[in-house]
């Protein structure tokens, strides 16, 4: 059992998604059941993983390696360390919870659960990958389902589809659609999110490919590259090149975190997303950024990290303050949570930028804690929206009278 | 000396002429259903033959396999020389596979002259196969030209658009224009061989055989000339960016079946890989050629993607997206390293499933709404969930979602490009983003959102024949996406040999030949050359 634990966690949701393809929308309970069971297997397995991970021994445990292409040095290399384990657990908790939160979805239930399972499984995949190729593979895989989840099951903030420009042309049919920042349709949010994230993912990919090219090891294996970095000491690949790669990797992955100047897709995406997706999105997807930066930039380019991370910390502080201010003024529940998340993520960055044991372990704990709290908040926001059909905060005044339980949960989640 | 795996049975000749013979047999039938059934049978038998070749093919070996060599016009050194290697063998399978799907698709979408249509389609299959498996340049050229005849009639007679006559003529004229240049290039190669052969008193004074031509060096200035002559032929056919204008017309006006073959089977870029690069390695790796080809490739990526973004017609969008994808293939090829070449070869195969698959989807849309204009769609997923699901899967494969074949090909190409030069890589990655934009945007507007006014309640979802097409494409897409190793293994021997050829150039050939004549085993001094049978001249 314990030998293949990572495979259970990773492939249970994928297997569930495949099984769902053959289910029918006419039996919604069966569909939900399959999704819940596969997520449940993943949850139980990751609880076991959390219990079985040996913190005294530390390092990477439960390692699996399957050759994928020997010539290119790509292998499905899985393993978790003390950072990956809690995040894997958080993902499977949120996936399991998300399935129950979206129990009421009646429109194309099957497809919704398929994409939700793929999204969560891809996220888990990133947290386990010890191979740069597969890290990127799962990372990219977690971005695209967001488009469908938002575009199909999301919600508009305005009566967007009827909006026309001066010439009477429907706005969604004009090319300016993609750059139309005023409109808050779910389609716009979905497109913005996917384009932003894939654009920055590609920047990170450039960094990864440069590492592959200049390390000369002909491998994508993170452990080997890390050993290489240790042996070579400073500078790993040549100082300037190291800095370029570091910047590419950092900003590429920080976009999903989301760091301050790259954050603008995030609140829009949160607002448009259905509750379960927001939960996964804010709960774990954002952490992909921090995690990947730790995994790639910190592990492979330690010296450059020591040099540049303090500079990047300035952006983190901006992120914290800016996110906080906007959240303070926002009038939409989901915007508030979205901006507050992006503010909190700044703290994680700051913890990482401390570059010491306490800072880093604080960041990891914070990531796990934030995953739980935000997951809960978005679930609450979703429930409130289901009952009231509004997310406008001024019109939700005195809600605690009618929904004392939810109000209580809000308080707990928001500390 | 040649590690050529002879088979006792002339399987490639069967593979080559079976569809043509089948087309002739079709002539005898009158009943339309009988014609369809027999065309399908012929295409299926051909696919079985192709699968047999793929199964018997020894993967990882750079050798030419299933060789058939018969002199044709000995005085001019023209021979009937057929063989497959890692570069061409997958195309053989792909051609047979797509033809089966096109026959299935055309079952009820071709309403008149079904017999002639099927005959033209099978003839097209023969000529396409011929292009892939000929090793003699004249034989290759014959098939290259013959291909235009069925293509011309397919576009002209069964095309759906009003401009189909124009499109058919444009396609033929453009390709012919390119081939004329290519023919001159082939002649120059022959003359070069002749000069070399008479100087060294070789037995054979003339040859158009690829393997013979590979064994003689070509002076650099002549290589450049021949490269650009061959380039014209392949660039028009591919089509590489500034020569692309016939493609949208042909794809839009012609029948879906023709569009599938034109967009799915990448003959032009195959030509670069098979002939230009190995025959003219010094020219191919000269900085001028590399930078021009890279610039053309990058321009194609960006131009195609931007054009695709603004198209309201799905078929036109696909035409431009296929120009954009071709840019990827070109930059992968001219990265001139292992990953780049392998990636662009895999991308060529991939597009046979994804772009061709999207053309099938366009066909499904067209047979429902009589047009692929955006105005006819909207919210289709509500009434046609299966169509929407396969549309999404194939589309995501074409934009390179991890887990589908597009991702593997794209990743390898980018890897190769970054190895060659990071600037090219940095530009190439923009294509990935644009790709996501144009596909997802079109998908969102046609399949998602509120149901469009033109979409009837009673619109059909995929029926059985369409399901067969969609499912078989989906299987291939996921197979290559999740486990590409068998496909990569098939090509890696030949790709490695090609890389060696590029690294050592034609001069190395002479050294190797000298060594061979003194009957010593060639010892690879570099790890790249250490593979068994990596003799560049023999293996290509």
Instruction: For A10-53, write each residue's pLDDT tens digit.
Output: 888 888 888 888 877 778 888 888 888 888 888 888 888 888 88
- Is B389 in Cβ contact with A198 (below 8 Å)? no
Q: Return the beta strands (E) in B62-115 as ranges.
A: 65-73, 78-84
Average pLDDT over residues A80-92: 86
User: Is residue A293 over pLDDT 50?
Assistant: yes
- Is A191 in Cβ contact with B444 (below 8 Å)? yes
Residue among B414, B437, B445 whose CB faces A195 most closely: B437
Q: How confident is the model at residue B8 (pLDDT cuts 50, 70, 90)?
A: low
Nearest to B59 by CA among B95, B32, B89: B89
User: Is residue B537 over pLDDT 70?
Assistant: no
What is the number of CB-based contacts under 8 A between chain A and chain B? 88
Q: What pLDDT is stored for residue B2 in this prediction? A: 43
Q: How confident is the model at residue B519 (pLDDT cuts 50, 70, 90)?
A: very low
User: Is residue A389 over pLDDT 80?
Assistant: no
- Is B418 in Cβ contact with A213 (below 8 Å)? yes
d(CA B199, CA B246): 44
Q: What pLDDT is stored for residue A167 in this prediction? A: 55
Distance from the B222 Cα atom to the nearest Cα atom in chain A, whole angstroms? 34
Distance from the A178 Cα atom to the nearest Cα atom in chain B, whole angstroms? 9
Residue among B402, B419, B450 whose CB faces A137 most closely: B402
Residue among B389, B432, B444 whose CB faces A151 most closely: B444
Residue B239 preceded by cis peptide, ω within 30: yes
Are B497 and B536 a contacting pair, CB within 8 Å? Answer: yes
Q: Which helix (H) or strand (E) holds A155?
A: none
**Which residues are bridge partners to B73 per DSSP?**
B78
- Is B401 in Cβ contact with A141 (below 8 Å)? yes
Residue of B nearest to A152 (CA): B448
Q: How confident is the model at residue B92 (pLDDT cuts 50, 70, 90)?
A: very high
d(CA B340, CA A72): 11
* Between B256 and A386, residue with greater pLDDT: B256
- Is A137 in Cβ contact with B403 (below 8 Å)? yes
Q: What pLDDT is stored for residue A349 in this prediction? A: 83
Q: What pLDDT is stored for residue A231 in this prediction? A: 57
For an interface test with A, the pick among B415, B447, B483, B494 (most A C-beta atoms closer than 10 Å) comes out as: B415
d(CA A75, CA A67): 4
**Which residues are bridge partners to A170 per DSSP?**
A164
d(CA A41, CA A92): 9
User: Is residue B518 over pLDDT 80?
Assistant: no
Structure-block tokens of residue A196: 């932003």
- Is A190 in Cβ contact with B411 (below 8 Å)? no
Compute how many other C-beta atoms are within 10 angstroms of the C-beta atom of residue A216. 9
Q: What pLDDT is stored for residue A35 in this prediction? A: 84
d(CA A384, CA A397): 12
Average pLDDT over residues B378-399: 85
| Percent of chain A residues topping a pLDDT of 90 | 0
* Between B269 and A255, residue with greater pLDDT: B269
Lowest mean pLDDT of B82-86, B213-217, B320-324, name the range: B213-217
Lowest mean pLDDT of A224-228, A234-238, A270-274, name the range: A234-238
Inform me whether the C-beta atom of residue B374 falls under 8 Å from chain A C-beta atoms: yes
d(CA B235, CA B228): 10
Structure-block tokens of residue B145: 């030209």
Strands B78-84 and B65-73: antiparallel
Q: Which helix (H) or strand (E) holds B28?
A: none
Angle, helices B338-369/B464-482, rounded to nearest 10 degrees:
160
User: Is residue B439 over pLDDT 50?
Assistant: yes
- Is A206 in Cβ contact with B415 (below 8 Å)? no
- Is B407 in Cβ contact with A137 (below 8 Å)? yes
- Is A178 in Cβ contact with B437 (below 8 Å)? yes
Nearest to A350 by CA among A380, A327, A395, A318: A318
User: Is residue A236 over pLDDT 70?
Assistant: no
| Percent of chain A residues topping a pLDDT of 70 | 86
Compute how many other C-beta atoms are within 10 angstroms of the C-beta atom of residue B205. 15
- Residues of chain B contacting A175 with CB distance shorter than 8 Å: 309-310
Sequence-ordered list of residues with C-beta below 8 angstroms from that of A412, at least 6 positions apart, any chain: A376
Only one residue has tokens 């799907």, namely B101
Lowest mean pLDDT of A307-321, B184-198, B287-301, name the range: A307-321
- Residues of chain A contacting B411 with CB distance shorter than 8 Å: 133
User: Is residue A161 over pLDDT 70?
Assistant: no
d(CA A307, CA A22): 52
Average pLDDT over residues A101-109: 79
Q: How confident is the model at residue B535 (pLDDT cuts 50, 70, 90)?
A: very low
User: Is residue B538 over pLDDT 50?
Assistant: no
SS3 B457: coil
Q: What pLDDT is stored for residue B94 in this prediction? A: 93
Only one residue has tokens 């009937």, namely B80
Q: What pLDDT is stored for residue A165 in this prediction? A: 53
d(CA A292, CA B527): 34
**Which residues are bridge partners to A129 per DSSP?**
A78
pLDDT in tens, B451-495: 777 777 778 788 888 899 999 999 999 999 888 888 888 888 888
For chain B, give the mean pLDDT: 84
Distance from the B392 Cα atom to the nearest Cα atom in chain A, whole angstroms? 10
pLDDT in tens, A176-193: 454 554 456 677 777 778
Give DSSP secondary structure letters for A26-85: T-HHHHHHHHHHHHHHHHHHHHHHHHHS-TTT-S-EEEEEEEEETTTTEEEEEEE-TTHH
| Percent of chain B residues topping a pLDDT of 70 | 92
Distance from the B133 Cα atom to the nearest Cα atom in chain A, whole angstroms? 27
- Residues of chain B contacting A203 with CB distance shorter than 8 Å: 429
Average pLDDT over residues A282-291: 85
Nearest to B87 by CA among B123, B52, B63: B63
Are B244 and B178 a contacting pair, CB within 8 Å? Answer: no
What Rg value do the Cα atoms of chain B yield, rounded? 23
Angle, helices A404-414/A357-388, rounded to nearest 10 degrees:
160
Q: What is the largest CA-CA distance in chain B?
A: 78
The span from the first CA to the last CA of chain A, in angstroms, equals 38
* Between B293 and A269, residue with greater pLDDT: B293
Residue among A71, A172, A210 whose CB faces B445 most closely: A172
Structure-block tokens of residue B127: 């000529």
Inform me whether the C-beta atom of residue B450 falls under 8 Å from chain A C-beta atoms: yes
For an interface test with A, the pick among B411, B421, B488, B494 (most A C-beta atoms closer than 10 Å) comes out as: B411
Inform me whether the C-beta atom of residue B437 falls under 8 Å from chain A C-beta atoms: yes
pLDDT in tens, A192-206: 788 888 888 888 888
Distance from the B110 Cα atom to the nearest Cα atom in chain A, whole angstroms? 32
Inform me whether the C-beta atom of residue B379 falls under 8 Å from chain A C-beta atoms: no
For an interface test with A, the pick among B302, B328, B402 (most A C-beta atoms closer than 10 Å) comes out as: B402
- Is B492 in Cβ contact with A148 (below 8 Å)? no
- Residues of chain B contacting A147 with CB distance shorter than 8 Å: 440
Kindly state the DSSP code that residue B274 receives in the 8-state scheme.
Answer: I
Q: What pLDDT is stored for residue B473 in this prediction? A: 92
Distance from the B273 Cα atom to the nearest Cα atom in chain A, whole angstroms? 21
Residue of A nearest to B412 (CA): A72
Structure-block tokens of residue B226: 């021949």
Distance from the B530 Cα atom to the nearest Cα atom in chain A, whole angstroms? 14
- Residues of chain B contacting A141 with CB distance shorter than 8 Å: 401-403
Q: What pLDDT is stored for residue A335 in this prediction? A: 77
SS3 A129: strand
Structure-block tokens of residue A97: 């919870």
Average pLDDT over residues A207-232: 77
Average pLDDT over residues B248-274: 89
Q: How confident is the model at residue B125 (pLDDT cuts 50, 70, 90)?
A: very high
Distance from the B509 Cα atom to the nearest Cα atom in chain A, whole angstroms? 26
d(CA B367, CA A124): 42
* Between B390 and A335, residue with greater pLDDT: B390
Q: What pLDDT is stored for residue B530 in this prediction? A: 37
* Between A179 and A407, residue with greater pLDDT: A407
d(CA B105, CA B121): 12
Nearest to A63 by CA among A47, A75, A55, A45: A75
- Is B433 in Cβ contact with A195 (below 8 Å)? yes
Structure-block tokens of residue B92: 């053989």
Average pLDDT over residues A71-89: 84
Average pLDDT over residues A112-120: 88
Measured CA to CA in angstroms, residue B65 lies from A77, A254, A340, A397, B331 at distances of 36, 50, 64, 78, 28
Q: What pLDDT is stored for residue B126 in this prediction? A: 92
- Is B339 in Cβ contact with A72 (below 8 Å)? yes
**Which residues are bridge partners to B80 per DSSP?**
B70
Lowest mean pLDDT of A189-203, A326-340, B165-179, B433-447, name the range: A326-340
User: Is residue B152 over pLDDT 50?
Assistant: yes
- Is B449 in Cβ contact with A187 (below 8 Å)? yes
Residue among B339, B432, B485 whose CB faces A198 most closely: B432
Average pLDDT over residues B8-15: 83
Nearest to B155 by CA among B201, B124, B115: B124
Q: What pLDDT is stored for residue B357 in this prediction? A: 92
Chain B, 309 to 328: residues with Cβ < 8 Å from chain A are 309-310
ipTM of the complex in this document: 0.81
- Is A202 in Cβ contact with B418 (below 8 Å)? no
d(CA A99, CA A107): 15
User: Is residue A373 over pLDDT 90?
Assistant: no
Q: What pLDDT is stored for residue A300 in this prediction? A: 82
Q: What pLDDT is stored for residue B507 in this prediction? A: 57
- Residues of chain B contacting A137 with CB distance shorter than 8 Å: 402-403, 407
Phi, psi of B240 (to 5 degrees): -75, 155
Sequence-ordered list of residues with C-beta below 8 angstroms from that of B334, at least 6 positions apart, any chain: B284, B289, B290, B293, B294, B297, B340, B420
- HEC string for B43-64: HHHHHHHHHHHHHHCCCCCCCC
For an interface test with B, the pick among A26, A71, A251 (most B C-beta atoms closer than 10 Å) comes out as: A71
Sequence-ordered list of residues with C-beta below 8 angstroms from that of A110, at least 6 positions apart, any chain: A20, A21, A23, A24, A25, A31
Inform me whether the C-beta atom of residue B489 falls under 8 Å from chain A C-beta atoms: no
Q: What pLDDT is stored for residue A209 in this prediction? A: 85
Lowest mean pLDDT of A176-190, A385-399, B117-131, name the range: A176-190
d(CA A321, CA A332): 19
**Contact residues, chain A to chain B, C-beta under 8 Å:** 68-69, 71-72, 108, 111, 122, 133, 136-138, 140-141, 144, 147-148, 151-152, 161, 172-173, 175, 177-178, 187, 190-191, 194-195, 198-199, 202-203, 205-206, 209-210, 212-213
């Amino acid at each position: 059992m314990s030998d293949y634990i990572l495979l259970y966690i990773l492939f249970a949701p994928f297997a569930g998604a495949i099984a769902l393809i053959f289910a029918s929308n006419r039996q919604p309970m069966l569909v939900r059941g399959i999704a819940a069971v596969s997520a449940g297997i993943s949850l139980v397995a990751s609880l076991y993983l959390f219990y079985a991970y040996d913190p005294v021994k530390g390092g990477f445990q439960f390692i699996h390696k399957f050759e994928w292409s020997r010539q290119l040095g790509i292998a499905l290399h899985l393993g978790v360390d003390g950072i990956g384990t809690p995040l894997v657990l958080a993902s499977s908790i949120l996936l399991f919870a998300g399935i129950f939160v979206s129990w009421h979805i009646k429109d194309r239930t099957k497809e919704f659960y398929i994409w939700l399972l793929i999204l969560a499984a891809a996220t888990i995949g990133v947290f386990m990958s010890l191979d740069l190729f597969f890290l990127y593979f799962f990372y990219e895989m977690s971005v695209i389902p967001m488009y469908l989840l938002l575009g199909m099951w999301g919600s508009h903030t305005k009566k967007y589809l009827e909006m026309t420009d001066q010439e009477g042309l429907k706005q969604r049919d004009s090319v300016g659609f993609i750059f139309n920042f005023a409109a808050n349709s779910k389609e716009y949010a979905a497109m913005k999110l996917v384009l932003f994230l894939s654009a920055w993912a590609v920047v990170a990919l450039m960094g990864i490919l440069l590492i592959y090219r200049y390390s000369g090891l002909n491998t994508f294996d993170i452990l080997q590259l890390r050993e290489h970095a240790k042996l070579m000491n400073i500078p790993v690949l040549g100082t300037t090149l190291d800095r370029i790669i570091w910047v590419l990797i950092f900003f590429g992955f920080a976009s999903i975190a989301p760091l301050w100047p790259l954050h603008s897709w995030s609140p829009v995406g949160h607002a448009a997303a259905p509750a379960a997706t927001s939960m996964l999105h804010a709960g774990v997807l954002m952490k992909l950024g921090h995690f990947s930066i730790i995994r790639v930039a910190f592990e492979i380019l330690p010296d450059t990290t020591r040099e540049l991370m303090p500079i990047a910390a300035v952006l983190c502080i901006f992120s914290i303050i800016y996110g906080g201010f906007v959240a303070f003024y926002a009038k939409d529940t989901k915007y508030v949570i979205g901006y507050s998340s992006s503010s909190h993520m700044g703290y994680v960055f700051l913890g990482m930028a401390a570059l010491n044991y306490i800072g880093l372990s604080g960041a990891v704990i914070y990531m796990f804690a934030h995953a739980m709290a935000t997951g809960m908040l978005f679930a609450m926001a979703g429930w409130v929206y289901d009952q009231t059909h509004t997310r406008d905060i001024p019109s939700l005044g005195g809600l605690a009278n009618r929904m004392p339980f939810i109000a209580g949960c809000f308080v707990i989640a928001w500390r | 000396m040649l590690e050529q795996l002879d088979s006792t049975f002339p399987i490639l000749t069967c593979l080559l002429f079976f569809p043509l013979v089948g087309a002739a047999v079709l002539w005898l039938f009158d009943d339309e259903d009988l014609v369809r059934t027999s065309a399908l049978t012929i295409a299926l038998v051909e696919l079985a033959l192709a699968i047999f070749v793929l199964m018997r093919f020894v993967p990882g070996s750079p050798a030419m396999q299933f060789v058939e060599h018969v002199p044709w016009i000995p005085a001019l050194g023209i021979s009937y020389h057929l063989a497959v290697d890692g570069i061409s063998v997958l195309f053989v399978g792909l051609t047979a596979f797509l033809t089966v799907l096109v026959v299935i698709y055309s079952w009820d979408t071709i309403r008149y002259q079904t017999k002639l249509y099927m005959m033209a389609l099978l003839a097209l299959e023969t000529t396409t196969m011929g292009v892939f498996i000929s090793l003699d340049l004249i034989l290759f050229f014959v098939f290259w030209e013959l291909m235009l005849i069925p293509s011309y009639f397919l576009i002209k007679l069964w095309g759906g658009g009003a401009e189909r006559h124009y499109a058919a003529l444009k396609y033929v004229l453009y390709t012919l224009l390119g081939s004329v240049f290519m023919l001159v290039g082939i002649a120059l190669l022959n003359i070069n061989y002749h000069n070399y052969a008479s100087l060294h008193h070789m037995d054979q004074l003339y040859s158009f055989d690829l393997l013979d031509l590979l064994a003689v060096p070509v002076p650099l200035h002549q290589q450049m000339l021949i490269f650009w002559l061959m380039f014209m032929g392949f660039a028009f056919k591919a089509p590489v960016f500034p020569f692309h204008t016939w493609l949208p017309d042909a794809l839009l006006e012609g029948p879906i079946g023709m569009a599938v073959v034109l967009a799915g089977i990448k003959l032009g870029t195959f030509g670069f890989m098979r002939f230009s690069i190995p025959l003219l390695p010094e020219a191919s790796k000269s900085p001028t050629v590399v930078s021009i080809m890279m610039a053309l490739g990058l321009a194609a990526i960006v131009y195609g993607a931007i054009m695709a973004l603004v198209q309201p017609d799905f078929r036109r969008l696909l035409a431009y997206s296929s120009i954009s994808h071709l840019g990827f293939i070109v930059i992968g090829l001219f990265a001139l390293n292992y990953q780049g070449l392998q990636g662009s070869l895999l991308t060529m195969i991939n597009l046979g499933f994804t772009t061709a698959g999207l053309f099938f989807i366009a066909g499904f849309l067209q047979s429902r709404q009589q047009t692929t204009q955006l105005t006819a769609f909207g919210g289709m997923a509500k009434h046609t969930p299966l169509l929407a699901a396969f549309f999404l899967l194939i589309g995501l494969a074409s934009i390179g979602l991890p887990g589908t074949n597009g991702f593997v090909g794209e990743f390898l190409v980018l890897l190769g490009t970054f190895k060659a030069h990071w600037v090219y890589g940095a530009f190439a990655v923009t294509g990935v983003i644009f790709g996501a934009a144009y596909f997802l945007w079109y998908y969102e507007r046609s399949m998602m959102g509120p149901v469009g006014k033109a979409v009837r309640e009673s619109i059909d979802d995929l029926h059985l024949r369409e399901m067969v097409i969609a499912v078989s494409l989906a299987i291939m897409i996921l197979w290559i996406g999740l486990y590409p190793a068998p496909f990569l293994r098939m090509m890696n021997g030949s790709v490695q040999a090609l890389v060696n050829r590029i690294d050592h150039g034609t001069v190395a050939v002479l050294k190797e030949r000298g060594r061979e004549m003194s009957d010593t085993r060639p010892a690879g001094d570099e790890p790249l050359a250490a593979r068994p049978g990596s003799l560049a001249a023999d293996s290509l």
